[in-house]
Amino acid sequence: MSVQVKICGITSPEQALMVQQAGADALGLVIYSKSSRYVDIQRAAEIRGVIGPEALAVVLLVNADAATVKQVIAEVKPDLLQFHGDESPEFCQQFGFPFIRAIRMREGLDLAAEVASYNAEGGFLFDAWSDDQYGGTGHQFDWSRLPAQRDYKLILAGGLRPDNVADAVAQVRPYMVDVSGGVESSPGIKDEQKVTIFVANAKQA
């Protein structure tokens, strides 16, 4: 089975339709006000309305409070949440809702312990570390740090582009690849040609 492709940072219904047409398997909506790809809950719900049943709708949150998470679940009705901040296992699991746990690959990270502590049905997303940004950095980390053997869905993010995604898939063999800035013409604006090439290169790898 070919790798799944998630296009993150969708900011309009038009973009959502375009990336689905290009073959994306999952779409990410960023409800985090410090992101250049931020959409509010109302806008996210509007975009959610055009995501068909063949694609997953994922809402990315960073250190949101419990009330906001509950509001997102009720009003946006995503398929998955993606916790991309410093949320504890207890926080993520209290909602009884399937989620992806993002792990930012800082130096000295005990990867096995981090994975073991979360019950992330949607999988674990591995992203580059940044001291001041929660994802969306455009930076790549050393893929060799990821375990070859695993019993969870591995989602690879961080610095992926149309020209390197095939190598990433061949090396890491992830369940899913996740891209945001690598297929944009400017922050929050997806480029149709880049999206199409990215999806094709990922699927053919």
Known catalytic residues? 8, 127
Closest CA to 109 of 82, 81, 83, 129: 129
Residues 57, 79: contact at Cβ < 8 Å? Answer: yes
167 vs 23: CA distance, rounded Å = 19
CATH assignment of the domain containing 157: 3.20.20.70
Q: pLDDT by residue (tens digit) across 127-184?
A: 885 655 555 555 678 888 888 888 999 999 988 999 999 999 999 999 999 999 999 9
Residue 158's closest CA among 123, 194, 133? 133
Residue 142: what pLDDT? Answer: 82
Structure tokens at 106: 């800082």
Which pLDDT does position 25 carry in this prediction? 98
Q: What is the mean pLDDT of each run of 10 residues along the chain (205 residues)?
A: 94 98 98 95 98 98 97 98 95 98 82 90 85 58 84 93 95 95 94 98 93
The pLDDT, as a whole number, for residue 94 is 97
Going by C-alpha positions, the residue among 83, 84, 111, 116 that lies closest to residue 99 is 83
Domain count, the chain: 1
Range of the domain at 144: 4-204
Distances (CA, A) of 141 to 1, 43, 82, 153: 25, 32, 20, 18
pLDDT of residue 133: 55
Q: Decide the pairing of beta strands 4-8 and 56-61.
A: unpaired
- pTM of this structure: 0.93
Give me the half-sphere count of Cα atoms (radius 13 Å) on the Cβ side of residue 183.
32
Token pair in block for residue 92: 């993520």
Could you give the 3-state DSSP secondary structure of residue 189?
strand
Amino acid 67: pLDDT: 98
pLDDT for 33 equals: 95
Q: State how far the Cα of 119 lies from the Cα of 152, in Å rounded to an integer.
A: 10
